[in-house]
């Protein structure tokens, strides 16, 4: 069954969820979207957010925000990184920030790289690694033996030729952050069975489960329409459970679509169905807050059931510092 068909079946039984559009102060005149998940740093609840003017493209900056109320965030001044779509994790007591840096040559968009920063203070992060050319959605997760799992996301013409889909997700393990090289990421072995013809997607946030499995919150996408003005890019929030020993998916499911969230504006009409996943934060009631960028304009949050139930509980990130 194609992703579009699965989405139609999902929406028959999954109505709009309890949800909110987040409010950001201190970035007036800019949209804030495609954020990291919230995280705790030195007693503060923080979140990195991509900011950009509605009428502009490839001119994003990532800013740091601090929570000041339910779904309400205020900018931490003077903190700015030249990346899009920030995401975070904690490895060996270090906060890891990762995002996409776009490259221009001769006045035209030429490609992009993933940049990696690390540190013990979200306001003072140090650049330390670069991903392969034209690869987004590289994600890291600390494993029980303190090695590091790395998810890759190659998307190119060779992938289409070999697999029919527009992207694949790979996985490999490195011993420490010094081994996070372009070669190691590029050589990650592909995980079979994730994408059908014409589909693409990636891992947005990876979590170690106490079973030893890895829970992944990600996105899958497809395109509708033939003429440029009619093309619609549909991005859907998904989750899958990955067995790193057998290198296989145990279960994959849809978590939410654009119909699951409060109404939101779109940067362009082709993005009116775009839900670019941020990740989840577990709640005290056993459910999860699912965060997602919406329409390339805002960040939304809805409440969902634990997407990894039956496969283990999420291991909390270690303390930063």
Tell which residue, 195, 237, 234, has the closest CA to residue 217. 237
Q: Are strands 23-25 and 72-81 parallel, antiparallel or unpaired?
A: parallel
The pLDDT value recorded for residue 231 is: 92
Residues of the chain with pLDDT > 90, as a percent, come to 93
Structure tokens belonging to residue 261: 């969230």
- Closest C-alpha among 172, 251, 175, 165 to residue 201: 165
How far apart CA 199 and CA 178 sit, in angstroms, is 33
What's the Cα-to-Cα distance from 81 to each of 51, 114, 186, 279, 292, rounded to whole Å?
A: 10, 12, 25, 20, 20
Q: Tens-of-pLDDT digits for all 321 residues of the chain?
A: 899 999 999 999 987 878 999 999 999 999 999 999 999 999 999 999 999 999 998 899 999 999 999 999 999 999 999 999 999 999 999 999 999 999 988 888 899 999 999 999 999 999 999 999 999 999 999 999 999 999 999 999 999 999 999 999 999 999 999 999 999 999 999 999 999 999 999 999 999 999 999 999 999 999 998 766 679 999 999 999 999 999 999 999 999 999 999 999 999 999 999 999 999 999 999 999 999 999 999 999 999 999 999 999 999 999 999
In this predicted structure, what is the pLDDT of residue 17? 79
Residue recorded with tokens 């001044």: 77
Residue 295 and residue 308: Cα distance in Å, rounded? 26
pTM of the model: 0.97
Q: How many residues does the chain have?
A: 321
In what helix (H) or strand (E) does residue 13 lie, and over which residues does it extend? Answer: helix 3-13
pLDDT value, residue 86? 98
pLDDT in tens, 265-313: 999 999 999 999 999 999 999 999 999 999 999 999 999 999 999 999 9
């Amino acid at each position: 069954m194609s992703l579009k068909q699965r989405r139609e079946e999902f929406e028959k039984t999954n109505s709009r969820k309890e949800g909110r559009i987040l409010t950001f102060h201190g970035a007036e005149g800019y949209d804030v979207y495609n954020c990291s998940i919230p995280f705790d740093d030195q007693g503060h609840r923080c979140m990195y957010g991509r900011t950009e003017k509605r009428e502009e493209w490839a001119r994003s900056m990532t800013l740091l925000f601090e929570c000041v109320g339910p779904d309400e965030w205020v900018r931490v001044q003077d903190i700015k990184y030249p990346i899009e779509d920030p995401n975070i994790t904690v490895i060996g007591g270090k906060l890891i920030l990762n995002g996409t840096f776009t490259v221009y040559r001769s006045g035209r968009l030429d490609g992009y790289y993933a940049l990696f920063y690390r540190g013990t203070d979200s306001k003072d992060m140090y650049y330390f690694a670069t991903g392969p050319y034209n690869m987004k959605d590289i994600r890291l997760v600390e494993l029980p033996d303190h090695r590091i799992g790395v998810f890759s996301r190659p998307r190119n013409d060779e992938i289409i030729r070999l697999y029919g889909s527009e992207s694949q997700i790979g996985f490999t393990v490195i011993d420490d952050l010094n081994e996070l090289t372009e070669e190691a990421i590029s050589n990650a072995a592909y995980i079979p069975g994730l994408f059908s013809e014409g589909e693409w997607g990636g891992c947005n946030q990876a979590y170690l489960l106490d079973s030893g499995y890895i829970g992944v919150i990600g996105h899958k996408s497809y395109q509708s329409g033939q003429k440029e003005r009619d093309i619609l890019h549909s991005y859907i929030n998904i989750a899958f459970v990955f067995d790193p020993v057998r290198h296989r998916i145990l279960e994959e499911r849809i978590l939410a679509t654009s119909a699951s969230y409060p109404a939101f504006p779109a940067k362009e009409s082709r993005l009116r169905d775009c839900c670019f996943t941020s990740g989840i934060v577990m709640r005290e009631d056993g459910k999860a807050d699912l965060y997602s960028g919406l329409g390339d304009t805002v960040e939304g949050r809805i409440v969902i059931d634990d997407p990894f139930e039956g496969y283990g509980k999420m291991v909390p990130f270690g303390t930063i510092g």
